Amino acid sequence: MKTILYIIFSCPLFIIGQNKNLNKYIPYETTSYITHPVIEINVWAHVIQKNEKNTQNFSKDSTAIIKQHFKWINEIYASLKPPTLSNSKGMKPFIKDSRIRFNLDTITFHVNEYDWDRLKIVPEENKSKWLEILKIDPDSRTLLVKPNRNLYSIISDSIMIKETRFSNGLYHVKKILKDGVNSLIFLEEDIFISEEMTGYVSSFKKVDKNCSDDNWIKYTNKNKNYLHIFYTGSSADVPGFGCGPSPFFLNISKANYSGKYAKAQLISHEIGHCLGLNHTDNAQFNDLPSSDKFGWIKCNDYNTSNNIMGYNTCRRYLSPLQIAYIHYKYSTFENLNYN
């Protein structure tokens, strides 16, 4: 078994028009383990807790779940399932064992609410992005605001009314209509006093650090000897999510909540990105289906694959060329080099 300590990054442009060159990297069942050894990626898991009293993440007493994640992930990569969809050639190429494994070497814990919160919704404090109020009408529960071409992207379901005499506070938006060049915002809550030419509407914005490298820089000093997996959280009311933007790190948020095996599937998907694989809605290799329906839906035999890199609930397949590309990136066997 070959252990990878320093993760090699290679340009994905290599793949364009050269799928056939990857064939010699495919680890078929009868292929020698001397030329195509099991590639083992060393993993360092970082658990970032919100605070000491309310961790909202794994604790030192729950590391068994993290270990179970990687037991499942290794089972997925070692025991792939046949594809549910045929590729563009009408074929279903299949290799059971990818010969790719992940060694959970280290688990460390950190406490920092800012680093824990990968996705949050905060008030927009930039006053230049606020909407100026022309009139507040309590009878119709409406706000007449000056025109703004980005109005619908600025406002979601909640707004803040600011700098008025009587109506400041949090309100929920029922609907928005045009009123000449201006816009009329209908509110769910009552407003009790009429006001004109006063105040502003402030919205909320999303701060998304799902794919940020800040934790990798802060906690590892850009260490490249491991694939660093950051178990984090989110103050936003959303299900678990993740991002694998680099060969050296990925983020998984809210993995401590329900659906432990589903989180292992999510991690296996994000690891695929770290290893150079793309989503399957646009085929990266010519042994993949030409299209793949996304939507976190069940796989089937007509439009939704069971590919690990898809958005399906099965995630148990990689094509031979997907596997070969990972072996190409990490292989050091001289007879397989492209020099």
pLDDT in tens, 125-165: 999 889 999 999 999 999 999 988 777 666 778 899 999 99
Same domain membership, residue 213 and residue 95: yes
Pairwise CA distance, residues 275 & 59, whole Å: 28
Q: What confidence tens digit (pLDDT) does each residue in 94-125 have?
A: 999 999 999 999 999 999 999 999 999 988 89
- Count: domains in the chain: 2
Residue 143 or residue 259, greater confidence: 143
Do 225 and 304 sit in the same domain of this protein? yes
Looking at the structure, tell me whether residues 214 and 309 fall in a common domain.
yes
pLDDT given for residue 299 in this prediction: 97
- Whose CA is closest to 230, among 261, 262, 257, 253? 253
Question: At residue 305, does pLDDT exceed 80?
Answer: yes
The pLDDT, as a whole number, for residue 10 is 43
Last residue of a domain, one of 207, 227, 262: 207
Please give the structure tokens belonging to residue 29.
């069942």
Same domain membership, residue 241 and residue 173: no
pLDDT range class, residue 71, cuts 50, 70, 90: very high
**End residue of a domain, out of 140, 172, 207:** 207
Q: Is the pLDDT of residue 227 over 90?
A: yes
Final residue before a domain boundary, out of 181, 207, 233: 207
**What single-letter amino acid sits at 286?**
N
> Does the pLDDT at position 297 exceed 90?
yes
Query: Can you tell me the mean pLDDT for 54-77?
Result: 96
Q: Judge whether residue 4 has pLDDT over 80.
A: no
Helix H, strand E, coil C: the string for the chain is: CEEECCCCCCCHHHHCCCHHHHHHHCCCCCCCCCCCCCEEEEEEEEEEECCCCCCCCCCCCCHHHHHHHHHHHHHHHHCCCCCCCCCCCCCCCCCCCCCEEEEEEEEEEEECHHHHECEEEEECCCHHHCEEEEEEECCCCEEEECCCCCHHHHCCCEEEEECCCCCCEEEEEEEEEEECCEEEEEECCCCCCCEECCCEEECEEEEECCCCCHHHHHHHCCCCCCEEEEEEECCCCCCCEEECCCCCEEEEECCCCCCHHHHHHHHHHHHHHHCCCCCCCCCCCCCCCCCCCCCCECCCCCCCCCECCCCECCCCECCHHHHHHHHHHHCCCHHHCCC
**Residue range 309-338: average pLDDT?**
86
153 and 241 housed in the same domain: no
Query: Amino acid letter at 30?
Result: T
Residue 234 pLDDT more than 60?
A: yes
Instruction: Please give the residue that has the higher pLDDT: either 197 or 233.
Output: 233
Same domain for 109 and 232: yes
Region 220-247: what's the mean pLDDT?
A: 96
What pLDDT does residue 13 have?
Answer: 45
CA quadruple 214, 217, 220, 225: dihedral sign: positive
Higher pLDDT, 242 or 155: 242
Residues 175, 296, single domain; the answer is: no
Mean pLDDT of 79-98: 97
Find the CATH number of the domain harbouring 152: 2.40.30
Q: What are phi and psi of 142, to 5 degrees?
A: -130, 155
pLDDT in the model for residue 191: 92
Task: Evaluate whether 166 touches 175 at the Cβ level (below 8 Å).
Answer: no
Residues 71 and 146 placed together within one structural domain of the fold: no
In CATH, what number is assigned to the domain containing residue 10? 3.40.390.10
Task: Give me the amino acid identity at 76.
Answer: I
Q: What is the pLDDT of residues 269-296, one digit of tens each?
A: 999 999 999 999 999 999 999 999 999 9
Non-local (6+) Cβ contacts of 75 within 8 A are none
Instruction: Tell whether 136 and 32 lie within a shared domain.
Output: no
Contact predicate 133/194, CB 8 Å: no
Whole-number Å distance between alpha carbons of 186 and 178 = 11
194 in the same domain as 67: no
CA–CA separation, 272 vs 24, rounded Å?
20
C-alpha–C-alpha distance, residues 224 and 241, integer Å: 24
Q: What is the pLDDT of residue 5?
A: 46
Residues 202 and 214 in one domain: no
Please list, in sequence order, all residues whose beta carbon lies within 8 angstroms of the beta carbon of residue 334, skipping any fewer than 6 positions away: none
Q: Could you identify the residue written with the tokens 């007449």?
A: 144
Do 226 and 136 share a structural domain? no
pLDDT at 155: 76
- Give Cα 114 distance to the centre of its chain: 19
Whole-number pLDDT of residue 8: 43
Domain that holds residue 161: 121-207
